[in-house]
């Protein structure tokens, strides 16, 4: 074993071996993988090996498609078979809601160019005769489903990496990780110590334990996962002989069951409601090629339905029962990327779908490490999406919820209940008393909408307009016509201060920095010119700035600031939990604010994009003259322990003005009416400033990150642009990821949509190929192609005079 490596990957499962291979593929050959036992000794060896491309997140779906296409490549390089069986598969709908879900899945697949098809039960019965079609109303056929040999895939990655110069050390447990002064690591193992510039935690079942070696608690939990292999089934033998091919895969959502052919029998696996965590606190280091005791009682309800829906299964004997642990993160997506607050320590863990996602995870992490950024937006996988709110208890509750709902419908308007409420603001009970229906972001409760007095504050999950539609309509119109109050505790607030603050922000932000007492909007770009942030920047003093951005991205943005900050001269603070507050918006918002302060807040004295500190009621707060609704408005950032008093003061002072609380649903409608984009919807690392329209906020200044790439993109007309569409919707509006078509050609996709209540129109923001801006368009909503047209200007106040007045 050598004593130094540029990168040490800890863990020899399919993910660790994929990372190792992709590092060598990108030219880093001084890399080493260290495995405590043998390759595949964790979850990999007992995996069912299924693979598919469809995923709720289109960027993750792209990576799954890449993973499946990769197997041919690593087979050719390594000479090792991956045991690939591409059978295709059916996703079965037992009712109308599930069929609606499959329609949305097919629409997303069309955007990505994936070939799926909604089929009737006559097709299912013909091509999968084990299924009793009377239990179902339709299905989605995906030709890119299949299964692989888990051991073969892992060894193919490993052999391909070795051929390119990587070293793999087996039977060598890591005992300790010691950070060095230069930001590198001493990897202390049973066989000696390796000096590593970068460590990647691909520990799988032991990812928590590896994380604890560097003082972090990763939000992952292993769950017992059960599947069965049946004895020979005569119908399968006959099918194979008659058709000359394997039986297709099938997912039966109502039975929480997946199935595929294995030899002359079937694999039947469940994601049962009565799920069980495995070793929730510590993973034993001596756990290896072992299985857990079968628990037929636990999976009994799923099997009972399976035997009804697939009658030949009821007559088949059980050849083998596999019950083994797999790790999950709270939202079911992997944890990938550099860990905030640690130098050169990366994660590639929590990958429960290793044979669908392992290749994509390896590619993205390797691109990020070698080239500075991945080519695809993988925020849904970024380890930085979780902060310290994601405790072990939180992870346990959310992982169990996610596992038990893996085959359940999650509606676009649905908020899941596990681990809630976790974080609340001081005004939580006041807002709840007003009828607030809450969502949660980074563990914090925030109002979605407000139920009228006498109505239950619960929203019905649906793909169509819900019972929130009427109250949201009233809230949005109250803002347009009078004044509304919205809690903004979820807005991320970063303070950057010190003599080096201006130089740092001039480097990481593409926009020009404001003068003291002023604010501006600025994109933050990657080296390749893609969007990393859509930020509001306020200069509080000559060497002190407040940056407001996305709550979901706050840890990622803090990581980016820290990565580029000098060793001295700059102080970075995440003040999100210290500064709560409210936005007030509407034509009467200035009058409301004036009643609570002796400061001159008239338009000339306190113009648009000003920020000033003064008393509002009983509290001293930073008040920003800015609005995301398109109306005259202010954002008030107060100390969190003053927030309750601030709300009471605003409600009391605005009572005769008709002041009304409003939530994020109304805000979404209001911003769509103005064509305002949102982070991780219209603005994300998948897009650049020119195509997104953010180029107008990029300054003509030297030295900022991404400048060269931006200038190159500015000189080349973009192939697509962000546009605002009016859609002739029926009882359902576009939400996100719906295809935009010109005739039979898909020419764009929706990033966000909803109903514009004050204009009475359904609206959607979408990226559209530039050659089709004047075309006759449709947006597919629940399988129905609805006519749509590009709006030349937003339907509300296109000049912006209301918010600037």
- 256 DSSP assignment: T
Q: Which pair of structure tokens corresponds to residue 150?
A: 């888990």
Mind listing the pLDDT tens digit for each residue in 29-44?
999 999 999 999 999 9
Q: Euclidean distance between the first and final Cα of the chain, in Å?
A: 70
Q: Alpha-carbon distance 182 to 567, whole Å?
A: 12
Q: Which two tokens stand for residue 426?
A: 């001081």
In three-state secondary structure terms, 198 is: strand
Quick one: residue 799, left, alpha or beta (phi over 0 = left, psi -120 to 50 = alpha)?
Answer: alpha
Joined together, the tokens standing for residue 465 give: 């307009």
pLDDT at 306 over 90: yes
CA–chain centroid gap for 670, Å, is: 24
Residue 121: both structure tokens together: 């039960």
Closest alpha carbon to 411 in 67, 43, 98: 98
Residue 406, both tokens: 């893996």
Q: What is the 3-state secondary structure (H, E, C) of 2-58?
A: CCEEEEEEECCCHHHHHHHHHHHHCCCCCEEEECCCCCCCCCHHHCCCEECCCCCCH
Containing H/E element for 127? helix 121-127
DSSP 491: S
pLDDT band at 54 (very low <50, low <70, confident <90, very high): confident
Model confidence at 56: pLDDT above 90: no
Please, which pLDDT band fits residue 491 given cuts at 50, 70 and 90? very high
* pLDDT per position as a tens digit, 107-160: 999 999 999 999 999 999 999 999 999 999 999 999 999 999 999 999 999 999
Does the pLDDT at position 636 exceed 90? yes
The rounded mean pLDDT for the chain is: 96
Average pLDDT over residues 216-244: 96
Q: Note the pTM of the prediction, 2 decimals.
A: 0.96
Q: Three-state DSSP class for 784? A: strand
CA distance 772 to 598: 53
Nearby residues of 796 by Cβ (< 8 Å), 6 or more positions away: 480, 630, 673, 674, 756, 758, 759
Q: What confidence score (pLDDT) does residue 534 get? A: 96
What integer pLDDT is reported at residue 126 of this predicted model? 96
Question: Which value, to the nearest 10 degrees, does the dihedral of the CA atoms of residues 484, 485, 490, 493 take?
Answer: 100
289 pLDDT higher than 90: no
The CB density around residue 746, as the number of other CB atoms within 10 Å, is 17
Contact 673, 794 (CB under 8 A): yes
Distance CA 520, CA 550 (A): 16
DSSP class per residue in 303-352: HHHHHHHSHHHHTSPEEEEEEEEEEE-TTSS-EEEEPTTSTTEEEEE--T
Closest by CA position to 140, among listed 236, 251, 239: 251
The shares of helix, strand and coil residues in the chain, as percent rounded to the nearest 5, are 30, 30, 40
Q: What residue spans of 405-491 are helical by DSSP H?
A: 428-433, 469-481
pLDDT at 805: 87
- Residue 639 tokens read as 């100390």
Q: How far apart are CA 301 and CA 797, in angstroms?
A: 57
For CA atoms 442, 444, 450, 451, the dihedral sign is: positive
Residue 55 predicted with pLDDT over 90: no
Task: Give the pLDDT confidence of 717-768 residue by residue, as tens digits.
Answer: 999 999 999 999 999 999 999 999 999 999 999 999 999 999 999 999 999 9
User: Cβ distance 588 to 805 under 8 Å?
Assistant: no
Contact 749/739 with Cβ under 8 angstroms? yes
For 633-661, b/e burial (b = at least 16 CB within 10 A) is bbbbbbebebbbbbbebbbebbeebebbb
- Residues 177-203: pLDDT tens digits? 999 999 999 999 999 999 999 999 999
Tell me the per-residue pLDDT of 557-610, one tens digit each, with 9 for 90 and over: 999 999 999 999 999 999 999 999 999 999 999 999 999 999 999 999 999 999
State the Cα–Cα distance between residues 796 and 673, nearest whole angstrom.
6
Please state the rounded mean pLDDT for residues 779-787.
97
Within 79-120, residue ranges assigned H as helices are 96-111
Q: Which two tokens stand for residue 14?
A: 């399919």
Please report the pLDDT score of residue 157 as a whole number: 98
Diameter of the chain measured on Cα atoms: 87
Cis amide leading into 191 (omega within 30) = no
Mean pLDDT of 236-246: 96
DSSP label at residue 770: G
> What ranges in 680-800 are assigned the alpha helix state H?
689-692, 707-714
**Phi, psi angle pair for 738, to nearest 5°:** -75, 145
The answer to whether residue 431 scores a pLDDT higher than 90 is: yes
């Amino acid at each position: 074993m050598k004593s130094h490596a540029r990168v040490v990957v800890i863990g020899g499962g399919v993910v660790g071996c994929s990372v190792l291979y992709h590092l060598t593929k990108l030219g880093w050959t001084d890399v080493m993988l260290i495995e405590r036992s043998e390759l595949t000794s964790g979850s990999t060896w007992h995996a069912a090996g299924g693979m598919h491309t469809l995923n709720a997140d289109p960027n993750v779906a792209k990576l799954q498609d890449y993973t499946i296409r990769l197997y041919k490549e690593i087979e050719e390089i390594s000479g090792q078979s991956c045991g690939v069986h591409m059978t295709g598969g059916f996703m079965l709908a037992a009712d109308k809601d599930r069929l609606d879900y499959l329609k949305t899945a097919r629409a997303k697949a069309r955007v990505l160019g994936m070939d799926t098809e909604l089929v009737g039960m006559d097709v299912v019965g013909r091509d999968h005769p084990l299924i009793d079609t009377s239990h179902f109303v339709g299905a989605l056929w995906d030709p890119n489903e299949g299964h692989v040999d888990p051991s073969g895939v892992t060894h193919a990655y490993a052999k391909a990496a070795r051929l390119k110069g990587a070293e793999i050390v087996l039977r060598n447990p890591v005992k300790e990780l010691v950070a060095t002064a230069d930001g590198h690591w001493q990897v202390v193992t049973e066989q000696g110590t390796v000096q590593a510039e970068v460590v990647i935690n691909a520990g799988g079942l032991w990812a928590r334990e590896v994380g604890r070696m560097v003082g972090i608690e990763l939000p992952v939990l292993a769950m017992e996962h059960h599947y069965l292999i049946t004895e020979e089934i005569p119908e399968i033998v006959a099918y194979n002989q008659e058709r000359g091919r394997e039986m297709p895969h099938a997912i039966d959502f109502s039975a929480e069951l997946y199935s595929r052919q294995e030899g002359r029998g079937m694999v039947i696996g469940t994601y049962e409601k009565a799920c069980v965590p495995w070793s929730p606190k510590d993973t034993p280091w001596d756990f290896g090629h072992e299985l857990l005791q079968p628990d037929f009682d636990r999976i009994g309800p799923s099997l009972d339905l399976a035997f009804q829906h697939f009658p030949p299964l009821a007559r088949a004997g059980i050849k083998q029962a596999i019950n083994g642990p797999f790790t999950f993160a709270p939202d079911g997506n992997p944890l990938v990327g550099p860990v905030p607050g640690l130098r050169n320590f990366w994660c590639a863990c929590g990958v429960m779908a290793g044979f669908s996602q392992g290749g994509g995870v390896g590619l993205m992490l390797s691109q990020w490490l070698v080239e500075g950024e991945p080519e695809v937006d993988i925020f849904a996988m970024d380890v930085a999406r979780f902060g310290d709110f994601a405790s072990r208890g939180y992870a346990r509750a959310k992982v169990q919820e996610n596992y038990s709902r893996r085959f359940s419908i999650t509606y676009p308007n649905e908020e899941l209940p596990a681990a809630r409420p976790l974080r609340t603001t001081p005004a939580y009970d006041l807002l709840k008393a007003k009828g607030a229906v809450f969502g949660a972001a980074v563990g914090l409760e925030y109002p979605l909408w407000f139920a009228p007095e006498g109505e239950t504050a619960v929203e019905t999950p649906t793909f169509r307009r819900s019972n929130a539609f009427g109250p949201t309509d009233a809230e949005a119109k109250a803002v347009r016509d009078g004044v509304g109050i919205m809690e903004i505790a979820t807005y991320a607030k970063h303070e950057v201060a010190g003599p080096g603050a201006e130089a740092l922000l001039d480097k990481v932000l593409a926009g020009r920095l404001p003068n003291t007492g002023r604010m501006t909007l600025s994109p933050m770009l990657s080296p390749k010119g893609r969007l990393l942030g859509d930020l509001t920047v306020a200069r509080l003093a000559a060497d002190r700035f407040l940056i407001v951005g996305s709550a979901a991205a706050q840890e990622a943005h803090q990581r980016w600031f820290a990565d580029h900050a000098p060793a001295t001269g700059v102080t970075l603070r995440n003040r999100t939990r210290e500064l709560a507050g409210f936005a007030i918006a509407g034509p009467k918002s200035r009058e409301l604010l004036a009643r609570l302060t002796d400061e001159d807040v008239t338009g000339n004295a306190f113009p648009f994009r000003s920020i000033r500190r003064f008393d509002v009621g009983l509290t001293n707060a930073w008040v920003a003259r800015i609005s995301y609704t398109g109306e005259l408005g202010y954002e008030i950032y107060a100390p969190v322990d003053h927030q309750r008093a601030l709300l009471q003061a605003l409600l009391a002072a605005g009572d005769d003005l008709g002041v009304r609380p409003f939530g994020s649903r109304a805000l979404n409608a209001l911003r769509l009416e103005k064509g305002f984009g949102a982070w991780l919807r219209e603005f994300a690392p998948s897009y650049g400033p020119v195509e997104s329209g953010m180029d107008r906020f990029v300054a003509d200044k030297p030295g900022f990150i991404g400048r060269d790439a931006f200038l190159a993109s500015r000189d080349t007309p973009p192939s697509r642009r962000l546009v605002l569409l009016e859609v002739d919707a029926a009882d359902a509006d576009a939400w996100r990821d719906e295809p935009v078509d010109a005739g039979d050609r898909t020419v764009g996709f929706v990033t966000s949509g909803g109903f514009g209540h004050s204009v009475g129109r359904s609206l959607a923001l979408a990226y559209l190929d530039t050659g089709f801006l004047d075309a006759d368009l449709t947006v597919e909503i629940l399988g129905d192609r609805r006519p749509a047209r590009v709006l030349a200007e937003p339907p509300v106040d296109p000049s912006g005079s209301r918010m600037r007045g």
